[in-house]
Structure 1
Amino acid sequence: MTETLPGIFPTPTSMQLNGGTVTLGTSVVLVQAAKTDAETVELVRQILSNAGVTRIRTATHIPAKLDQSYIVIGAGNSAILRSAVGRVKAALPTEKEGYTLASTVEDGGNLTVLAGFDGDGLFHAAQTLRQLAKRASFPAVRIHDFPSMPVRGTIEGFYGAPWTMQDRSAHLAFLGRAKANTYIYSPKDDPFARDKWRDDYPAATLKQLGELVHQAERNHIDFVYAISPGPSVCYSSPADLQALRRKFDAIRGLSVRTFYVALDDIEYTKWNCDADKEKFGPASDKAAAAAQAYLLNAVQADLASGNAAGPSLIMVPTEYYNATESPYKAGLREKLDPRIIVQWTGTDVVPPAISIPDAKAATKAFGRKTLLWDNYPVNDYAQSTGRLLVAPYARREAGLSSELTGIVANPMNQEAPSRVAVMGLTAFAWNDKAYDAELTWHAAARELASDDPRTTAALLTFFDTQHLAPTFGTQPWQPQAPRLKAVLDHVREALAQGDAAARKAALKDLARQADDIANAPDIIRAGVADKGFVAQSAPWLDAMQRWGRALQLTAAGLSAADEGSGTAQPFFADAKRMADEAAAIRSIPGATRFEGPIKIADGVLDLFIADAPGLIATP
């Protein structure tokens, strides 16, 4: 059997072929070293079962001669792990969240070792095994892996309909598979986290949040609770500080250890109470920085409870959207406890790119390395109306890991479609220097398609029609439908400049592309196991199907015109009617902050269908 280096996402820090092919067979011996949590053991057992293993025996040691498949799992530095790692010619991991996964094939059997530096690292090793074991046999490899950034994940921080608890549960499982480690609960429309932040949560809601926290723990995700008191808080009020303490104490009772205070999207040149004017002076951006630091430093002191190594509070400042020097940033830099982590969205609210110099400028402005709040793929602003944002995660510079404490994505109101871009972000945050946007985009499609090639191809066709990534300005930072545009441009060129054979070949390609677009929605509906993705994407799939049919009719009209047939015009008329139907489909009511007509490859597909009747003279 030919051995090829497997594709693992995120890309490991180091991966080499180790010689030979591992075939697990139907029986595996599992050797469990010390410091192995029950959830990870169960995950490994499930992976083996999915790989066709029907019998799993346990043992306490590895025999001198390997007579079948052995798997050793554990975290730390136990004698069993040291011996096993040496046998597969690897080394124990030395970095936080790091792991070693290595196999050897000998004596008619095989040995695979999953060694984590800590419990998180071992969980990540299991996720790598999950990818390897999708095939009945996989190449023996030697992987040494650890994350580039300490914080990787998402912030549910968008406006509009928040995710359901089921959405959040599914998302936490996805984050675990993607080797993320952070989920920030900060829905703008949770009244008890913003408008009614002083009030206690109802018992039923608190119970649901507790279940989410446990789900996060099972997936080795740090559940971060965020509160947004800015619209009404009195920074100098002992009563408001006590209200924050009481709210955090209730959430701490759910086993949450990391907290966040959001001060974004508020007015900071007026006070909410006279007491703040008396303590900090007339309202101004500089005075606001002093007031915010006063309150946040008190919260940080509570969290640390005298322990200098205690958890760091996270905050998002009112000026979160650039790194330009200002009195506000200078005030935070001077007065904010250095332990507090500051979030920053880049050079703009929705930045077209983020570079190392940008991040260095933010470090200088805020007096510490920042945690990037990346407003992609969020679609809660007017320029994103009617769009799913599923282009690859791109235009973030390799090397940002040296200038940031981490990255979290602000996803869409549609949880499952958000995973396409979020998988790219988590892969970038894990290993930014080896990140490949296109390959990871393909991997995200395969993940949704459960590795079915036909469904994967249909998803990539769908993603191409939703490739445009807007900003708050007029120019998008990623183009719409680049693959489709290349086909349509080729057709235009062939009709304008080609001979008869070239025209026929181009029109044949166009017909195939039209079929792919028209057929993709049904393939996706049948092939994507996650029905949340299908439901949340429903109007886009419906519109795509109609646009595909319109393109099929357009292709038929062009072919008829090329042959001099009088049937071309009826085809074009039917194509226009179908396109009008497609353009009339609207987003799901209440799902997003801005509602409107669904966009499918707009500016590319619609223009071609409109222009087609004039591309060839008809009888």
Structure 2
Amino acid sequence: MQTIRKTFATVGISAVAIAGMLTPLSASAAPPSGPLPSVSPTPQSITRAGSDLNVPGRVEIVVDDGTDAAALAELRETLSEHGVDRIDERAKATGTAPLTIKLGAASRADIDAALGDTEAPTHAEGYALLADASAGPLGTVALGGVDAAGQYYAVKTLDQLFVPKDDGGYRIAGAAISDFPSMPLRGTIEGFYGEPWSHQERLDQLEFYGDVKANTYIYAPKDDPYHRDRWREPYPADKLAELGELVNTATANHVRFTFALSPGNSVCYSSDGDYQALATKLQQMYDLGVRAFNIPLDDIDYGRWHCDGDRTKFGAPSARTAGIAQAAFLDRVQKEFVETHEGVHPLQMVPTEYSNTADSGYKTALRTMDEDVVVMWTGEGVVPQSVTVAQAQKAATVFGGPTFLWDNYPVNDYGNTAGRLLMAPYDKREAGLGEYLAGIVSNPMNQAAASKIAIFGVADFTWNDEAYDAGHNWSRALDYLASGDAATAASLRVFADLNHLAPSFGAPWQPQAPELSARIAEFWETWSAGDRAGAVAELRTYAQSIADAPEAIRTGTTDPAFVSDSSPWLDAAALWGQSTVELLDAVQARIDGDQATSDALAASAKATAAQAAAVVVDPVDNAWGKAKVKIADGVLDAFHGRIGFTLAMWDAGDVVNVAPKGTATASSTEVAQFGAKNVNDGNASTRWASGYSDDSWVQVKLSEPTVVRGITVSWEAACANAYELQTSNDGTTWTTIRTVDDSTCALDVYTFDESEPVQYVRMQGIDRKSTWGYSIWELGIYAAS
């Protein structure tokens, strides 16, 4: 796969414009000051520093032996992309170049002088930047790094300060920036189950991390046999060559390639032979250039030993003795390997108890481990709905020091993510975490390029958590994927909204399709106010944007790897958009009195929606296999159901869902968080789940006896092969009003011509479709308004 350089703004320049810029311009020709461009990650300090600098055809770069080679290469590339066709590299400024850029250590005399009052931070990876239009014919740019990484990041920031001009050229925004990261470790851990990333995907990711100032990639793919099951065996030559290329690419982008080895399923902690096998494997990677190592001991059974020696040395197997054994083993790795190898960073480890802050015998034992070993933690839960400062403080106490957050977002390798891309912004992490965490790595999706939206947020948050704005960052991430093209970014925004749900092992922590939901709410508000045609027209415009977005994404400037990753979801989104347009046209035809056309359009919309619902994830990258694609589920399909219901009840007038005013009960509940109350709470992202019995039921006692004109059942994946809809006046004697053996396993809609009021409505299960119980998002019960 060809690697494409990503930009934060539109690039492109004509030959005529280049020729024109070969002639130096006066500083007075620079445009007046204005708003500064957005920079990602958000700098610690950025202010306007006078007028912008015009970019000429010739630029002089002043460097010395302390100039970072990667930063210099990046600077030359970004200048070429912005219309500079002659770059003179010098050890000392001539004073005659149209534009001079000084790159190197912030302490270098000429850079220090050029920075003036712009303070160079003292933090590792920090930098100072000043773009000064008043120094030289067209100005001077000073790029001073605290270290080599700081120089590189200064250039990455400069790349975002280029502003296109009307004549096709560019100017550099006059800015003064003092910047450094809030957290020392920032990036990703490839730690998911299922198909690992390809070699090309990893190379692409490492270049992306350089763009967003992420400095950490932990190589820990669960399905790499040499990482986990065959951890004692050295890598074969071909795989070793690939890893070497990854290490070199990471280094070129100032990313710390961190090699993880996961021996916990078979290691004998007391065995010198196993220690030597591990040390030999680490040495193999050290010889490739790796200088950071991680020993994950997650997802293992610590209630048993793998050798008699551990029982003899540590006692009977238990959580506490496992902690003692792990601490002893990792202490040896830290002291005998890490501390004896030049340039190696402190060892990292993933504890077996990684997902809470409750103290335990295991954690007490682990606190005896060498304090230099960095402990990872996933938050209060495997997939936490939020991470707070108080939680991080408590984690630091129970683990014996600041933890390194393994954040399981946007990973999609568990059941509740089946069929999903997770494209909501990185959110619900509290400002101030930078003071209590060693860093954060995202555990991304099997779909590498589609993970960039969330990773973009992680990089921004870990760089400057106090200034992080999830909504702004989300927009910037979409701009990045669109290579700065506004039209493509707008289509990506529509598409990402349809994939906004963020599941957990409990309730979702980010809602599905918030923009679409808001527009649908506006539709019903306008509809209820009597302006039915206005409601249709307004929502139809957005529905058309859903239908058009996939093609615009495919043919626009979008990252081609993203297009490949999201292809099944793009297919489904196009069909859902088309069916929604058809459905709204059916409504308009009915408003116009043309029932025949309305019926034909509604039938076509239903058929197209069925095609959309049938799209599966293929090729299979995830452990959940060829699951059906989920697009705006609980929102778009629910709207289709309600509109279908409205068309079916057209002659009866408006109807209203009376279920939310009732009281729900059930024969059983799988766990408390999936209680019966979820089935009529009006929230499409909460659900009831029954026990594992075919005859399970859920019912709603209405607030008053009501003539029921329609019922909708919004199923989660655990649906029914067969069920009955029943009514009752006393909750004891039941009447079956519909037997269903052809459920859509999505949204079932049924209308009735009943005349007698009832007090209760029940879904009575007959036959489950899976080994799980029944699971329903919402049970809608409709009466005449």
TM range (shorter): over 0.9
| Match in the other structure for 1:450 | 483
Alignment length (residue pairs): 611
**1:484 and 2:519 are equivalent in the alignment:** no
**1:373 and 2:406 are equivalent in the alignment:** yes
Deviations 1:267-317 (A, max 9, x none): 001111111111110110000000111111100012343589962110000
1:381 and 1:361 map into 2 onto residues whose CA distance is 27
| Match in the other structure for 2:391 | 358
Output the amino acid matched with 2:113: S
Q: Is the 8 A contact 1:564 1:618 kept in 2?
A: no
| Match in the other structure for 1:209 | 243
Q: How does 1:288-327 map to 2 (within 5 A)?
A: 288-305=322-339, 311-327=345-361
Shift of 1:212: 0.4
| Match in the other structure for 1:120 | 149
Q: How does 1:390-401 map to 2 (within 5 A)?
A: 390-401=423-434
Shift of 1:558: 1.5
Q: Which segment drifts farther, 559-568 or 362-371? A: 559-568
> Which of 366, 372, 376 pairs up with 1:343?
376
2:205 and 2:429 map into 1 onto residues whose CA distance is 23
1:168 and 1:134 map into 2 onto residues whose CA distance is 31
> Which of 619, 641, 661 pairs up with 1:610?
641
Question: Closer, same or farther in 2 for the Cα pair 1:218/1:306, shift >3 Å?
Answer: closer
1:329 and 1:9 map into 2 onto residues whose CA distance is 37
Q: Is the 8 A contact 2:488 2:558 kept in 1?
A: no
**1:98 and 2:132 are equivalent in the alignment:** no
1:173 and 1:247 map into 2 onto residues whose CA distance is 26
1:607 and 1:138 map into 2 onto residues whose CA distance is 49
Q: How does 1:437-586 map to 2 (within 5 A)?
A: 437-473=470-506, 475-496=507-528, 498-500=529-531, 503-566=532-595, 567-586=597-616
Q: How does 1:1-150 map to 2 (within 5 A)?
A: 1=31, 3-62=34-93, 68-86=98-116, 89-106=117-134, 108-133=137-162, 135=164, 136-150=170-184
Question: Closer, same or farther in 2 for the Cα pair 1:523/1:536, shift >3 Å?
Answer: same
* Matched position secondary structure for 1:592: coil
**1:597 and 2:621 are equivalent in the alignment:** no
Output the amino acid matched with 1:381: Y
* Matched position secondary structure for 1:102: strand
Shift of 1:495: 1.6
* Matched position secondary structure for 1:302: helix
Structure 1 length-normalised TM = 0.96
Q: Is the 8 A contact 2:58 2:97 kept in 1?
A: no
Output the amino acid matched with 1:373: W
* Matched position secondary structure for 1:73: strand
* Matched position secondary structure for 2:428: coil
Shift of 1:139: 2.2
1:505 and 1:138 map into 2 onto residues whose CA distance is 46
Question: Closer, same or farther in 2 for the Cα pair 1:329/1:141, shift >3 Å?
Answer: same
**1:183 and 2:212 are equivalent in the alignment:** no
Output the amino acid matched with 1:96: A
Deviations 1:401-436 (A, max 9, x none): 001000000000000000000000110000000001
Question: Closer, same or farther in 2 for the Cα pair 1:57/1:429, shift >3 Å?
Answer: same
Output the amino acid matched with 1:607: A
Q: Report the structure, 1 or 2, having the larger strand content.
A: 2
Output the amino acid matched with 2:374: I
2:473 and 2:590 map into 1 onto residues whose CA distance is 41
Output the amino acid matched with 1:344: W
Shift of 1:529: 4.3
Q: Is the 8 A contact 1:148 1:401 kept in 2?
A: yes
Output the amino acid matched with 2:67: T
| Match in the other structure for 2:417 | 384
| Match in the other structure for 1:193 | 227
Output the amino acid matched with 1:521: P
Output the amino acid matched with 1:55: R
2:447 and 2:344 map into 1 onto residues whose CA distance is 35
User: Structure 2 unaligned runs (5+)?
Assistant: 1-30, 165-169, 652-785
| Match in the other structure for 1:433 | 466
1:284 and 1:159 map into 2 onto residues whose CA distance is 27
Q: Which segment drifts farther, 20-29 or 223-232? A: 20-29
Deviations 1:79-119 (A, max 9, x none): 22222222xx4233322100111111126421111111100
Deviations 1:30-70 (A, max 9, x none): 11144112222111011001111111123333456x66211
* Matched position secondary structure for 1:19: coil
Q: Is the 8 A contact 1:390 1:466 kept in 2?
A: yes
Question: Closer, same or farther in 2 for the Cα pair 1:134/1:181, shift >3 Å?
Answer: farther
* Matched position secondary structure for 1:406: strand
Q: Is the 8 A contact 2:426 2:458 kept in 1?
A: yes
Q: Which segment drifts farther, 279-288 or 568-577? A: 568-577
Shift of 1:182: 0.4
1:609 and 1:152 map into 2 onto residues whose CA distance is 42
Shift of 1:618: 4.2
2:341 and 2:540 map into 1 onto residues whose CA distance is 67
Output the amino acid matched with 1:374: D
2:539 and 2:112 map into 1 onto residues whose CA distance is 59
* Matched position secondary structure for 1:193: coil
1:3 and 1:411 map into 2 onto residues whose CA distance is 38
**1:172 and 2:206 are equivalent in the alignment:** yes
1:382 and 1:550 map into 2 onto residues whose CA distance is 28
Output the amino acid matched with 1:119: A
Structure 2 length-normalised TM = 0.76
* Matched position secondary structure for 2:133: strand
* Matched position secondary structure for 1:322: coil
Question: Closer, same or farther in 2 for the Cα pair 1:309/1:199, shift >3 Å?
Answer: closer
> Which of 153, 156, 159 pairs up with 2:193?
159
* Matched position secondary structure for 1:109: coil
User: Structure 1 unaligned runs (5+)?
Assistant: none
Shift of 1:7: 0.5
Q: Percent identity?
A: 44
* Matched position secondary structure for 1:525: helix
| Match in the other structure for 2:11 | none
Output the amino acid matched with 1:563: D
Shift of 1:252: 0.5
Output the amino acid matched with 2:543: A
Q: Is the 8 A contact 1:51 1:134 kept in 2?
A: no
Q: Is the 8 A contact 1:97 1:120 kept in 2?
A: yes
2:150 and 2:42 map into 1 onto residues whose CA distance is 15
Q: Which segment drifts farther, 177-186 or 549-558? A: 549-558
